[in-house]
C-alpha cells in the first residue's frame, strides 16, 4: 500500500480520493477536448492529413487501452501503488503534447499525439481499481459522477475557448497544445495525491493472462462480446463525425467554432445535464437493461448525425450522442465493479479496457475505408444495425444483470 493508506480511516480515504478526483476531472476534461476535437481538426485543416494519419490519430487513445493488459501485468506485485502507475504516464503525455505544439511536420505531430494519448489511456484500469477500493458499494456511481460532471464542463469550456482561438488564427494551436501538456502535468499531481493500495499480484506468467477471465466468467465474457459489437459500431464512426463537419469532402466544411459546437460543446453540455440522472440509475438499476437503453440512444444519435447536411439535424444527433455518453461514461468505467470478485477489479478492467482499445484501434481505419466504399450515410446506418444486434443479444443476460446488481447493493 501507499505510505499513508493504512493509517487512514475508510471515510478519510473516500474523502481524499474524492477531493483529488474532482481536481483530476477538471484537467481530464481539457485533455478530452484535445483528442475529441483539436488533435484531429489540426491534422485536417492545418496539415491536410490523409486518411491513414487521421486514422492513426483517432486510434491513439485506444492503442493505450490495448497496452493496459501488459501494463497491469508488469506492475503487479512490484510494490507500486495504483495511483503512482498513473503519474509517469501522465507526465509522458504532457511532454508529448507540448512537443506536438512546436514540431515542424505532420509526421512528428502525429507521432507525439499518438504517444501522448496512448499514455493517457493506459492507466484506466488502475483508476477504476482505486474507485473500487476507496468508494463503498452502492455509492460508486454517485461519487464518480461529480468529478465526471467537472470533466464534461471543462471539456465544453475548453472546446469553446480553444475553437475561438483557432477561429482567430489557426496558428494559435501551438498555445492550445502547450496548455494541454500543462494540464497533463497537473493531472499527474492529482493522481499522485490519491490514496491507493498496491497493484495486486497476479496468478499468471504472461502479460495477456487476464484474458482467461473472458472464459472463466461466462457472464463477464458474454457482456464483453456484446459490448465489443456495440463499441465497434460506435468507435468506427467517431472520427468520421469530425471529418463529416470539418472536411470539404462532404460539402459542410464548418468553421472551427461550429465544429467544436457540434463535436464537443453540444454533447458535453448534454452530458453535464444528465450525468446525475444516469449515476442514480447505475447505482439502483439492472445494469444490463441500462446498457440496452444506452445502446438505443447511441444508435438514434448516430442515425440523425449522418442522414443530413443540415447543421440543426446534425446537432440534434450530437445531443443524443451526448445523452448516451452521459450514461455510457459511468457504465463503461464502473460496470466491472459489479462483475469482478474482490481483488480482481484491475484484472477484469484491464481486459475490458484492452478490448476497447482493440476495437478503437481498428475501428477508425475500417470506418474510413468503409465510408470510402459505401459513403458516410450508409456507414452510419450499418453502425445502427450493429447496435441493434448488440442490444438484442443482451436480452438473455437480463436475469444475470439483476443478480449482479443485487449482490453488489
* pLDDT tens-place string over residues 166-201: 999 999 999 999 999 999 999 999 999 999 988 877
User: Is pLDDT of 3 > 70?
Assistant: no
Residue 161 pLDDT = 92
Residue 335 confidence (pLDDT): 87
Distance CA 406, CA 401 (A): 9
Q: What is the pLDDT of residue 232?
A: 94
User: Which of 68-82, 114-128, 296-310, 313-327 has the lowest average pLDDT?
Assistant: 68-82
Instruction: To the nearest 10°, report the CA torsion of 58, 60, 65, 70.
Output: 150
Q: pTM (2 decimals)?
A: 0.77
Question: Which of the four pLDDT bands, split at 50, 70 and 90, describes residue 407?
Answer: low
Q: Summarize the chain as % helix, strand, coil (round to 5).
A: 80, 0, 15
Residue with cell 446506418: 381
Q: Can you spell out the DSSP letters for 277-339?
A: HHHHHHHHS-HHHHHHHHHHHHHHHHHHHHS---HHHHHHHHHHHHHHHHHHHHHHHHTHHHH
CB 257 within 8 A of CB 163: yes
pLDDT for position 280: 87
Closest CA to 184 of 17, 27, 29: 27
pLDDT of residue 250: 78
Averaged over 341-360, what is the pLDDT?
85
Please say if the pLDDT value at position 351 is more than 80: yes
What pLDDT was estimated at residue 264?
83
How confident is the model at residue 158, as a pLDDT? 92
Sign of the torsion formed by the C-alpha atoms of 300, 306, 307 and 311: positive
Where is pLDDT greater, at 40 or 97?
Answer: 97
- pLDDT > 90 in the chain, percent: 45
Q: Could you tell me the domains of the chain?
A: 10-201+210-407 (1.20.1250.20)
| Cell representation of residue 90 | 501522465
- How far from the centroid of its chain's Cα atoms is residue 192's Cα? 21
Question: Is the pLDDT at 394 greater than 90, yes or no?
Answer: yes
pLDDT at 2: 47
* DSSP 8-state symbol, 81: B
Give the whole-angstrom CA distance, residue 158 versus residue 39.
13
For the chain, give the percent of residues with pLDDT over 70.
96
Spatial distance between the Cα atoms of 324 and 187, rounded to a whole number of angstroms: 26
253 vs 23, higher pLDDT: 23
Average pLDDT, the chain: 88
Q: Among 26-40, 53-67, 201-215, which is the least confidently predicted range?
A: 201-215
pLDDT band with cut points at 50, 70 and 90 for residue 271:
confident
Q: Are 389 and 225 in contact (CB under 8 A)?
A: no
Q: For residue 166, what are the contacts with CB-CB under 8 A and spacing of at least 6?
A: 38, 41, 172, 173, 176, 256
pLDDT digits (tens, 9 = 90+) for 18-32: 999 999 999 999 998
Which three three-digit cell numbers place residue 31? 485533455
Residue 23, C-beta contacts closer than 8 angstroms, at least 6 positions apart: 186, 190
Q: What is the pLDDT of residue 327?
A: 92
Amino acid at each position: 500500500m501507499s505510505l499513508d493508506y493504512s493509517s487512514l480511516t475508510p471515510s478519510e480515504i473516500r474523502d481524499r480520493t474524492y477531493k483529488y478526483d474532482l481536481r483530476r476531472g477538471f484537467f481530464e476534461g481539457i485533455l478530452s477536448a484535445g483528442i475529441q476535437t483539436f488533435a484531429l481538426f489540426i491534422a485536417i485543416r492545418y496539415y491536410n492529413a490523409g486518411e491513414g494519419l487521421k486514422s492513426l490519430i483517432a486510434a491513439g487513445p485506444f492503442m493505450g487501452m490495448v497496452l493496459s493488459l501488459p501494463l497491469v501485468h508488469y506492475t503487479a506485485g512490484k510494490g507500486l501503488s495504483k495511483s503512482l502507475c498513473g503519474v509517469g504516464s501522465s507526465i509522458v503525455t504532457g511532454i508529448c503534447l507540448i512537443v506536438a505544439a512546436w514540431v515542424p511536420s505532420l509526421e512528428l505531430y502525429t507521432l507525439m499525439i499518438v504517444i501522448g494519448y496512448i499514455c493517457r489511456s493506459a492507466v484506466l484500469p488502475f483508476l477504476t481499481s482505486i474507485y473500487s477500493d476507496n468508494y463503498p458499494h452502492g455509492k460508486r456511481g454517485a461519487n464518480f459522477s461529480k468529478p465526471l460532471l467537472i470533466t464534461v464542463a471543462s471539456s465544453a469550456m475548453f472546446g469553446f475557448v480553444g475553437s475561438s482561438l483557432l477561429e482567430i488564427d489557426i496558428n494559435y494551436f501551438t498555445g492550445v497544445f502547450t496548455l494541454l501538456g500543462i494540464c497533463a502535468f497537473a493531472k499527474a499531481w492529482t493522481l499522485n495525491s490519491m490514496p491507493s493500495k498496491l497493484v495486486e499480484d497476479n496468478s499468471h506468467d504472461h502479460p495477456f493472462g487476464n484474458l482467461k477471465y473472458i472464459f472463466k466468467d461466462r457472464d463477464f465474457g458474454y457482456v464483453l462480446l456484446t459490448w465489443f459489437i456495440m463499441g465497434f459500431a460506435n468507435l468506427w464512426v467517431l472520427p468520421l463525425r469530425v471529418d463529416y463537419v470539418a472536411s470539404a469532402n462532404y460539402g459542410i466544411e464548418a468553421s472551427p467554432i461550429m465544429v467544436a459546437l457540434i463535436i464537443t460543446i453540444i454533447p458535453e453540455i448534454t452530458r453535464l445535464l444528465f450525468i446525475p440522472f444516469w449515476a442514480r440509475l447505475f447505482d439502483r438499476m439492472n445494469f444490463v437493461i441500462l446498457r440496452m437503453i444506452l445502446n438505443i440512444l447511441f444508435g438514434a444519435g448516430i442515425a440523425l448525425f449522418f442522414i443530413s447536411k443540415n447543421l440543426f439535424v446534425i446537432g440534434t444527433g450530437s445531443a443524443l450522442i451526448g445523452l448516451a455518453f452521459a450514461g455510457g461514461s459511468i457504465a463503461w468505467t464502473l460496470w466491472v465493479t459489479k462483475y469482478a470478485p474482490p481483488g480482481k477489479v484491475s484484472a477484469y478492467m484491464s481486459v475490458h479496457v484492452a478490448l476497447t482499445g482493440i476495437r478503437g484501434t481498428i475501428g477508425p481505419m475500417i470506418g474510413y475505408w468503409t465510408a470510402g466504399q459505401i459513403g458516410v450515410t450508409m456507414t452510419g446506418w450499418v453502425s445502427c444495425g450493429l447496435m441493434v444486434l448488440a442490444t438484442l443479444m443482451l436480452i438473455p443476460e437480463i436475469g444475470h444483470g439483476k443478480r449482479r446488481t443485487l449482490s453488489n447493493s
